[in-house]
Amino acid sequence: MSQVNYLSKVGKWSNPTHIGQLYINGEWVDPSENRTIPVINPAMGETIAEVGLASQKDVQSAILAARQAFDDGVWRSTSPHKRAKLLSKLASKIEDDLNNLAEIETVNNGKTLREAKGDVEEAVKTFRYYAGLATKPTGETFEAEEPFVARVVREPIGVCGQIIPWNYPLLMAAWKLAPALAAGNTCILKPSEITPLTAIRLFELIDEVGFPKGVVNLVNGTGVEAGQPLVESTLVDKIAFTGGTATGKTILEKSVGNLKRVSLELGGKSPNIIFADADYESALDYATFAIFNNAGQVCSAGSRLLVDQKIYDQFIKDLVEVTKKIRVGNGLDPSSEMGSLVSEQQLTKIKNYIEIGKTEGAKLVCGGNRLRTNGLEDGFFIEPTIFVDVKPKSRIAQEEIFGPVLCIIPFETEEEAINIANDSPFGLAAGIFTSDVSKAERVAKAIRAGVTWINTYEQNLIEGPWGGYKESGIGRELGIYGFNEYTEVKQIINTLKVEPTGWFSS
Ligand code: TXE
C-alpha cells in the first residue's frame, strides 16, 4: 500500500503530500538530494512511509532562513500579543486534529492510542501555556546609586536548533518550539529519523497558522547529517536536545565553536521508593505505571524499585500478579494497555539487558521474552519484565535500559534507601511512597534529582521545571524556567545626569 493510502486510512491524514519534504523559510521544499528514509510501524514491522532526508545543504538553508528571520526582527519585534495569538491559534489547530495526530503517533511510535491522545492533549496545553507566558515578560529593576537607573530585561537568544527523540515525538516538539517561539527566537526542529510523522503533520498546521517566513523550520534527517550541522554551526545560538546521554555528551563537545547555549534533557535510572507504611494499593499501582507506561521508554521511568524489606516478598508477589495481567498489543487496538517498542534496535537493546540481568545473578520473576503470537508476530513487542534481588551496583541497576524492565532492590532503613537511590550517575526523577509526611519531606530533600514525587509518579506539571541533576542533563524545560532558557539577560543602565567622567585631565 502506498504511504499516502496507508496514512490516509490509518491516520485519516487526508492529504499527506508533504511527507517527503522539508519545511524551510515558510515553504515545503523537496530535499536537495532526493533521498528518503523508510518509516516503520513498529507494531507491524512494516514500512508505512518514506520521509525526505535533509542533506547538510538543506540544513544550511534552514539555518540561513532562521538566521535572517531573527536578524531582521520579524519575530522578536512582533508584539508579544501577536506571538501569543499565533501560538494559541496553533494550539487550537492541534486540538482540532487530536484524533488524527494521535493515530499517526501510534502507527509510527507503537504507543497505545490512549497514550498518544494524552500526548496530544499535553502538546495543546504546552502551546497554550507559553502563548500566555509570551505576554508576561519578567524584567527586574534594582536600586542603583544616583544618578543611575538600572533594569534587567530578557531577550531572545536567537536561532535555536532543537533536536528531539522518538519516545514522545509530538510532545517533545511542543516542549521545544512553544517556549522558544514565545520568547521571540527562531527555530529549526530536527525530529528523530525514527518518528518524524507527527512533526510533519504539526508543520502543516504551523503553515496554516502563518508564522512569518523563516521563523520556524523543519529538517528531517539523521543525527549526523541533519542534527550535527545544527550543533556545529556558528550561526546557531542555542541547541536544545532531548535524547540519550552519549549523544548529549557528543553534542556538548561539538557545540563549543561559538560557545552556543546548550540545554540537554538526557537519560535516567529513577528510583521509586516504597516504604512499608505506604498506602499499599496506590504504591502497587504506581510501581507498575512508573515503569510500564509508554512501554518503559520514558526518561523518568521508575526503573529502580526500592522496596522496604518488611513488605518485600508480598509486594513482589502482588506486583507480578498485576503485571502479568497487562494487555500488550497493537496500540490501535483499544484493549491494548502497553504497545510495542519503537524499533527493532530498541528491542535488541532491551533483550540484551535482560540477558545481562540473568548473568549478573538477578532473579527474573516476570516476563523477559519477545511476544510473537496473536497478531504480534512481526512487531517489536516484549513482555513487561521484572527482576528481583538486583544488586545496586550491577549494570541493570546502573544503566538506562529504556524499556519495560523493572529492577527491584530491597532496603532496610531510610538511610539505606537514600544511599541506593543516589548511587547513580543519573538524577532526573524519584518517587517516594509513605504515609509519614516528615519522612517523605526528608527523603525528597535528600535525593539528588530534578523532580521528586511523593505518593504519585509521572505527574508532569507544565508550570514546573523539568530536567535533571548529574548526567541527566543541563538546564530545565517547562514553566518560566523553560522560557528563561530561551532568553539572554541584559542589564540596561541609564544615567539621569549626562556629564563627562572627568577621569582624565585633558
Ligand atoms: O537516541 P539519540 P537513540 C536513550 C535511551 C535509548 C538511547 C539511544 O536509553 O536507548 O538513548 O536512543 C539525534 N548530533 N534515550 O540512539 O541518538 C537523533 O537523530 C546531533 C533517552 O535513538 O540520543 C535524534 O533526533 N543529533 C531519551 C536525537 O538525537 C544527533 C529519549 C535522539 O537520538 C546526533 C531517547 C548527533 N551526533 C533515547 N546523533 C530521553 N531522554 O527521553 C543522534 N542525534
Q: What is the DSSP string of 70-134?
A: HHHTTTTTS-HHHHHHHHHHHHHHHHHTHHHHHHHHHHHH---HHHHHHHHHHHHHHHHHHHHHH
Q: What is the pLDDT of residues 334-368, one digit of tens each?
A: 999 999 999 999 999 999 999 999 999 999 999 99
Pick left, alpha or beta for residue 214 (phi over 0 → left; psi -120 to 50 → alpha; otherwise beta): left
Residue 8 has a pLDDT of: 62
Residue 140 has a pLDDT of: 86
Tell me if 227 CB under 6 Å of ligand 1.
yes
Among 164, 189, 190, 247, which residue has the most ligand 1 atoms within 8 Å of its CB, making it the best to mutate? 247
Cell of 328: 500488550
Tell me if 343 CB under 6 Å of ligand 1.
no
Residue 17 has a pLDDT of: 80
In angstroms, the first-to-last Cα distance of the chain is 84
Q: Please answer whether residues 294 and 325 qualify as being in contact, where contact means their C-beta atoms are separated by less than 8 angstroms.
A: no
Asked whether the predicted pLDDT for residue 193 surpasses 50, the reply is: yes
Residue 110 has a pLDDT of: 98
- Look up the pTM and report it: 0.97
Residue 9 has a pLDDT of: 60
Q: Considering the chain, what is the average pLDDT of its residues? A: 96
Please identify, by atom number, the ligand 1 atom nearest to the C-alpha of residue 191. Answer: 25
Does residue 410 have a cis peptide bond before it, meaning omega lies within 30 degrees of 0? no
Between 162 and 141, the more confident residue is 162
Q: What is the pLDDT of residues 291-332, one digit of tens each?
A: 999 999 999 999 999 999 999 999 999 999 999 999 999 999
81: number of Cβ within 10 Å: 10
List the residue whose alpha carbon is closest to atom 24 of ligand 1: 192
Average of pLDDT values for 214-220?
Answer: 98
In the sheet that 363-366 helps form, which strands lie side by side, from edge to edge? 363-366, 385-388, 405-411, 304-308, 271-274, 429-433, 451-454
Tell me if 421 CB under 6 Å of ligand 1.
no
Q: What is the pLDDT of residues 386-420, one digit of tens each?
A: 999 999 999 999 999 999 999 999 999 999 999 99
Radius of gyration of the chain (CA): 24
Between 476 and 2, the more confident residue is 476
Residue 11 has a pLDDT of: 58
Residues labelled catalytic: 265, 299
**What's 212's DSSP letter?**
P
Residue 488 CB burial class (10 angstroms; 0-12, 13-18, ≥19): middle
127 — pLDDT class (breaks 50, 70, 90):
very high
Tell me if 163 CB under 6 Å of ligand 1.
yes
List the residue whose alpha carbon is closest to atom 19 of ligand 1: 223
Average of pLDDT values for 176-183?
Answer: 98
Evaluate the CA torsion angle 302, 307, 312, 314 in order and state its sign.
Answer: negative
Please identify, by atom number, the ligand 1 atom nearest to the C-alpha of residue 267. Answer: 41
Q: Please answer whether residues 477 and 428 qualify as being in contact, where contact means their C-beta atoms are separated by less than 8 angstroms.
A: no
Kind of pairing between the strands at 469-470 and 426-427: antiparallel
Closest CA to 23 of 57, 65, 56: 65
Residue 16 has a pLDDT of: 73
C-alpha distances in Å from residue 399, one per residue of 265, 357, 432: 16, 11, 21
Q: Please answer whether residues 115 and 170 qualify as being in contact, where contact means their C-beta atoms are separated by less than 8 angstroms.
A: no
Q: What is the pLDDT of residues 84-122, one digit of tens each?
A: 999 999 999 999 999 999 999 999 999 999 999 999 999
318: number of Cβ within 10 Å: 16
12 — pLDDT class (breaks 50, 70, 90):
low
Tell me if 250 CB under 6 Å of ligand 1.
yes
Ligand 1 centroid, distance to 192 Cα (angstroms): 8
Residue 1 has a pLDDT of: 40
82 — pLDDT class (breaks 50, 70, 90):
very high
